[in-house]
Amino acid sequence: MTKSARGVTAGRWTAAVALTVVALGAAATLETGRVANAAAGSVQVARVAKVQRGTDAASYSIDYSYVFPGRDSVHIKNLGVVPARGSFHYISHERELQFRDTTSGEILRTVALDETVVAAGGTPASEIPREGEFPPEFRSFAWTSRSSFQERANLVLNKYFRYWPRESDERIHLATTFTPLHLRNPEVLGKVALLLSFPSQAGSRGFSFQVHSLVREGRTHSDYYLPTENTAILAAASQFVDQLVTELNTGGDR
């Protein structure tokens, strides 16, 4: 960290404390506080709450909005390339948000994620299966909309789940919590978690995205859920995926 990098004037920031880190040979700014504003863009962190994902170290449920004027898109770590203005709500183990230029990879903004909510009675649990727990079988769907898949997925998935984004090998993976399935037999319970995978940057002709389903069966008198071959539960899970994909495609700018 250089002395010149520390020489950022306080007038460049609103309700934020500037620290500096060096990445890609250029100075990037790590800001603390709920709002970070500068010529390169503005980020509003609305909520950061600690959650527990299995036996992992604590993760965070985060809710934020951002705008980067004069740009069509930015790259957000673990979400890929998204519009230059938007908002997202998901679970992450990261302690900061990182925004990059989609062409050069230069860091535009790095914003610290400090807790804004402390849950009474301990950290709430969030059951998100690991990617290796999902079966290798998947269903494939076409995405030809000009809308951002990440924005549509954020809107639709948050109606039923909480989700965990991860970027690897130029692909984005969205793993969800479980959501209950609607079954005719009142004594049988079913639930499903999804893993959506797609390219981190869409081509001009769209792309295909994959949906893996992890389905579990339970009973009303028990807290335990087990893998299932129950045809009614599997059919309900498949119907749920059909419904979710329809919702993803509904409202997208085609």
Lowest mean pLDDT among 88-92, 115-119, 123-127, 137-141: 123-127
What is the arithmetic mean of pLDDT over 107-119? 90
What is the arithmetic mean of pLDDT over 99-120? 90
pLDDT digits (tens, 9 = 90+) for 193-238: 999 999 977 666 789 999 999 999 999 988 899 999 999 999 999 9
Q: Which of 184, 180, 195, 199 is nearest to 79 (CA)?
A: 199
Q: 194-223 burial by CB neighbour count: b if 16+ within 10 A, else e?
A: bbbbbbbebeeeeeebebbbbbbbbeeeee
CA gap 179, 236 in Å, rounded: 12
Q: Which of 58, 12, 14 is nearest to 39 (CA)?
A: 12
SS (H, E, C) the chain: CCHHHHCCCHHHCCCCEEEEEEECCEEEEEEECCEEEECCEEEEEEEEEEEECCCCCCEEEEEEEEECCCCCEEEECCCEEEECEEEEEEEECCCEEEEECCCCCCEEEEEECCCCECCCCCCCECCCCCHHHCCCCCEEEEECCCCCHHHHHHHHHHHHCCEEEEEECCEEEEEECCEECCCCCCCEEEEEEEEEEEECCCECCEEEEEEEEEEEEEECCCCCEEECCCHHHHHHHHHHHHHHHHHHHCCCCC
Asked whether residue 36 carries a pLDDT value surpassing 90, the answer given is no
Angle between helices 231-249 and 149-160 (to 10 degrees): 140
> What is the predicted pLDDT for the residue at 206?
83
Count Cα neighbours of 171 within 13 Å in the Cβ-side half-sphere.
12
> What is the predicted pLDDT for the residue at 23?
31
**Domains in the chain: ranges and CATH:** 3-112 (no CATH), 131-249 (3.30.530.50)
Higher pLDDT, 52 or 163: 163
Q: In the structure, what pLDDT confidence band is assigned to residue 78 with cuts at 50, 70 and 90?
A: very high
Q: Which of 130, 137, 129 is nearest to 212 (CA)?
A: 137
Residue 71 tokens read as 């740009």
Asked whether residue 168 carries a pLDDT value surpassing 70, the answer given is yes
